[in-house]
Amino acid sequence: MSDIPDVFDGDVLGLFAERIEAQFSLGLPELAQAVQAAPHAYPSATQVVRWYALLTEAQQVVETAEDALVSALETVAGDVLDDPVMELAHRVNYAVAARDGRAQVLRFLLESPVEQARIQRRFGPRVTTTLPTAVPAQPARIRGGAR
């Protein structure tokens, strides 16, 4: 699937929308309506529509987190970033990781069945990704060890 890059930059949603529409020969709105009307009729389409919706949600979280970080960075004086700004940076990183995980699942779903079987044999069953609900205030500290 050469039209979807390994590294996600630019319009991730647009790339996937084009690929989905080409694969199912329907626009996304029509495909979503068909899936909603008969979700069990085409399980692969149902999964693709579900994961595209999850990817869309994750992309919105990324954009919101990035906007908050940019706003915070505009108020920073000097080169030192305080804890709230660093927390926002971590939130962006977590959101990007969740978005990229969902994009990988969607990419997998759009692969051919033969390729899916090969990947599942090698790596095991699929897993779902979820967006973090809260960003930890402090990184976990390692207990014990030399000081």
Over the chain (147 residues), what is each successive 10-residue block's mean pLDDT? 50 93 93 93 92 96 95 84 90 96 93 67 63 53 49
Residue 92's pLDDT is what? Answer: 96
List all residues 6 or more positions away from 17 whose beta carbon is below 8 Å from its beta carbon.
28, 52
pTM higher than 0.85 for the full model?
A: no
Tokens, residue 142: 């390692």
**Predicted pLDDT of residue 97:** 96
User: What's the CA gap between 8 and 14, in Å, rounded?
Assistant: 11
For residue 135 the two structure tokens come to 């960003």
Quick check: 16 and 106 in contact, CB under 8 A? yes
